A and B are shown apart, each in its own frame.
Chain A
Amino acid sequence: MDNQTRIDRVTRFIETLNQARELGLSVTDAGDGTLTLCLPYSDRIIGNPDTGVIHGGAITTLMDTTSGCVILCALEDFELCPTLDLRVDYMRPAHPHKPVYARAETYRITRNIIFTRCEAYQEGGETIANCVATFMRIGKEASPKHYRDLIAGDVK
């Protein structure tokens, strides 16, 4: 699978997630077991109206989505893997009016579990938050074939 295929699969997948679409998440970069997504700044996700700093919940959603989607960049066939747990450490508030990026990697894949780590940062490279997560492999048969075909791009 080449990187363009990975980008296309993740793009099609996040298109099906209402919340990811509402947030305007987009793919910045993808590789073998790595993925970077971008969260644009928006007034709707502000947590502190005095400073314009976005709420941690939006960062959590960005990191959960990136960690979940990086699995598409690591496995040959699409499998929907539910999140078991997620741990976020907040380093500093995100600067307002600038996008936040999240770069995730799968660092261990077993028959049952996938382990990921993810870093959220802004331009200049300052870390906003770190996240580790585990996902359960329930098998590709757990999602309907038409949905798998849609993500794989086999639907004309």
Chain B
Amino acid sequence: MTDPEILRYTQETGDFSRMLESIPYATWIGLQCERFGDDLIFRLPKKESNLGNPILPAIHGGVIGGFMEMSANIYLIMSRESLRMPRIVDFSLDYLRAGLNRETYAECRLTRQGNRVANVMVTAWQKSRSQPIATARAHFLLED
């Protein structure tokens, strides 16, 4: 993911396949990303191995967290000119509804970017964007 060549390719083309293939964790949970104009929508397809609670069944809360965390990370890389990798400092997650065994989406918003720290908000939903299953807030350190 730190490979500047892949980052540049992704920033220029909006094709996320090479970047995502280079990150084993993204491939493993099945994360996908598409660009619509300037907007990025992240997608987590339905996947049996991502489930936690077998009764509902529901996606494991940790996977929802990992999906949102990685979405925030990629979003931040794409919204900056720099090819440096931001480092996560903290991650705060509110679960609003059970994430059922179906496709999940996420979008991010850069709340504030300073010289050294960025604050990113993430919202995840399934059937309707107006009924989010989780919201999260993350801080990233931008310098090395």
Contacts and interface: CB of A to CB of B under 8 A. Distances in A.
Interface of A: 16-20, 22, 43-50, 54-58, 60-65, 68, 80, 82-90, 143-144, 147
A83 B95 contact: yes
Interface residues of B, number: 37
B62 A60 contact: yes
Contacts of B65: 57, 60-61, 64, 86, 88
Contacts of B117: none
A91 B90 CA distance: 9
Interface in B59-80: 60-63, 65-67, 69-70
Given A80-B53, A90-B89, A58 B3 contact: no
A85 B90 CA distance: 14
Contacts, number: 131
Contacts of A16: 54
B61 A83 contact: yes
Contacts of A18: 48-52, 54, 60
A96 to B, nearest CB: 12
Given A45-B28, A47-B23, A64-B60, A57 B66 contact: yes
A25 B66 CA distance: 16
B1 to A, nearest CB: 6
Contacts of A83: 61, 95
Contacts of B39: none
A135 to B, nearest CB: 10
Contact of B49 (A22, A48, A58, A64): A22
A84 B29 CA distance: 22
A56 B63 contact: no
B110 interface: no
B142 interface: no
Nearest to B25: A55
Of listed A56, A87, A89, residue having the most chain B CB within 10 A: A56
B95 A56 contact: no
B98 A55 contact: no
Contacts of A87: 90-93
B23 A90 contact: no
Given A55-B70, A88-B90, A147-B55, A50 B60 contact: no
A44 B66 CA distance: 14
B72 to A, nearest CB: 10
Interface in B1-54: 1-3, 22-26, 28-29, 48-54
